[in-house]
Amino acid sequence: MGKEKSDLWMAISKASTTGFTILCSIGICMGLGYAFDHYMGTNPWGLLIGGIFGGFLGLYGVIRQCM
Amino acid sequence: MELHAGHHHVVQWMGISFNMDTLYMTWLVMAIIIVVTLLATRSRAMVPQGIQNVMEGVLEGLTGQFKTNLGNQWKFLSSILFTYFLFILVSNELGLIPSPHILASPTNDINTTLGLAISSSILVWIVGLKVKGIGYFKHFVQPFKLFIIINLMEEIAKPVTLAFRLFGNILAGEILLELLYALVPYVLPIVWLAFSLAIGIIQAFIFAMLVTSYLGMTIGDGH
């Protein structure tokens, strides 16, 4: 398999996982935020901050994967 | 109407739940792979024919991809990556064989996909330690120390993403197939079945490629 073809397949594989990367990152961080709120009584700040942090983490993961 | 896709026969043993149908199907997948690979390698010829030809074609295609991304390490890692590909490929296609709710894809169970994804993450860590030694952990504090939280969270997100993508695609495909059989029992399910066959191959390929990409990032200087 040529280098160009190989790069194309790798790009397709990475592109196909972009949405899931962002979704899972937001889900994990919101889950942790929710658990933090539940035990510390900080509702809804953990959930909110977790969601924002998850979005940032997802974008960071996608950018790192694509670079 | 009762949907069967995604429903599991659960057995409790010592406080742990076991999805028995997933276990049986996983053993079946392993048996199929062992038989096929034995048949392909039993009497190898210089000019490959039949099943040997098919297996060589598939593995040569993947080898080209591994060599490009893994450099010198590809020989050391190729067997486990081939195993991932073959296991996921056979698992995905198994659920598409028409049967009275006997056959199901092991990959329509989140436990299987999460197990595969976690094992791939452990493989990445082992390879990172083997290639770079203790210096592998430096990447957790790059570009600067504050990024340790983000990098650790990313390490958790990677296997979760891998697992949910594979699980979601296969389960959604099987549910839609079952619905189409119930609603429009002619033509349309055949079209979707053909599409699902292609999806099964693509998903197995994507999983192997993403693990290769994570390994490439670990081995390369960019990590």
Classify B187 in phi/psi space as left (phi over 0), alpha (psi -120 to 50) or beta.
left
Interval B123-133: pLDDT, tens? 999 999 988 88
Q: Tell me which of A14, A29, A57, A66 to substitute to probe the interface with B (most B C-beta atoms closer than 10 Å).
A: A57
Residues of A in contact with B65 (CB under 8 A): 1, 6, 9-10
Cα–Cα distance between B134 and B83 in angstroms, integer? 28
ipTM for the predicted complex comes to: 0.79
* C-beta of residue A28 within 8 angstroms of C-beta of residue B157: yes
Within an 8 Å CB–CB cutoff, is residue B55 touching chain A?
no
Nearest chain B Cα distance for residue A63, angstroms: 12
SS3 A49: helix
Cβ-proximal residues to B161 (8 Å cutoff; 6+ apart), any chain: A17, A20, A21, A24, A25
Interval B164-201: pLDDT, tens? 999 999 998 888 888 888 888 888 888 888 988 999 99
Asked if the Cβ–Cβ distance from A17 to B156 is below 8 Å, we say no
Within an 8 Å CB–CB cutoff, is residue B58 touching chain A?
no
- How many residues comprise chain A? 67
Within an 8 Å CB–CB cutoff, is residue B205 touching chain A?
yes
Number of other residues whose CB lies within 10 A of the CB of residue A10: 18
Matching residue, tokens 């096929």: B36
- How many residues comprise chain B? 223
Higher per-residue pLDDT: A33 or B188: A33
Asked if the Cβ–Cβ distance from B213 to A65 is below 8 Å, we say yes
Interval B29-87: pLDDT, tens? 999 999 999 988 887 777 777 888 888 888 888 888 888 888 788 888 889 999 999 99
Nearest chain B Cα distance for residue A6, angstroms: 6
Cα–Cα distance between B214 and B160 in angstroms, integer? 14
Interval B156-171: pLDDT, tens? 888 999 999 999 999 9
pTM: 0.87
Within an 8 Å CB–CB cutoff, is residue B65 touching chain A?
yes
Most confident of A47-56, A57-66, B34-43, B57-66: A47-56
